[in-house]
Structures are given as C-alpha cells and as structure tokens.
Amino acid sequence: MSDIVRIKVEDEIFDLDMSALTWGELTELEEVAFGGESIEAVNLESARGIVGLAWLARKRKYPQTIIDDVKRLPVGSVEVVESDPTTAGNPGEDVDSGPQS
C-alpha cells in the first residue's frame, strides 16, 4: 500500500498520508474503528478498514465527526480511490494530509 491513501467521502476527497499519522490518531483508529486490533491486522480494503480511514479523514477536517457518522453513510458514498501523489493537492480538491489544530 502506498503511504498516501486517497479516500472519497460524500463527494469530498481526502488524501491521508499514513506515515504522517500521529500516535494518538493511530491508537484511536485501532481502538475505535478496528475494535482494538492493530492496523497491521486489519485489511484496509475491507469494510472495517475503509470505514476507519473515512472516519479519520473526516475527523481531521471536521473534529466533531464520530465513527457512527461514517457507518450511517450509504456504501456508494465512501470509496478508496486510486492515489497518485503527483496529483495530490490540485486546485479544487479537498486535501488533508495532517492533523488540524
């Protein structure tokens, strides 16, 4: 898997730099989204993995987002899209590669 995961959530595109996750984000992802399993144990292309990544992406931009917000979305409104690091950050895209203050 690439270090950059591009995920579309309700027509917003987020680029997650997996190598830039904080320890707090990683711990929260494992506890909340993965039921305590390590990120290495979860297939990030599974429903659980996609929901977890979508939640983290939205949470970075919208800190009030809870995992149930993503779980309630129709399957077609969340998808991992091919990531091409050379196009990340193009105008008009909603790109988020780090935690927000």
Instruction: List, as one string, the DSSP characters of 16-46.
Output: EEGGG--HHHHHHIIIIISTT--GGGS-TTS
- Pairwise CA distance, residues 99 & 63, whole Å: 10
Pairing of strands 4-9, 12-17: antiparallel
Return the pLDDT at 73. 97
pLDDT of residue 3: 86
For the record, the structure tokens of 27 come out as 């711990």
The pTM assigned to this predicted structure is: 0.76
Q: What is the pLDDT of residues 18-74, one digit of tens each?
A: 899 999 999 999 999 998 999 889 888 899 999 999 999 999 999 999 999 999 999
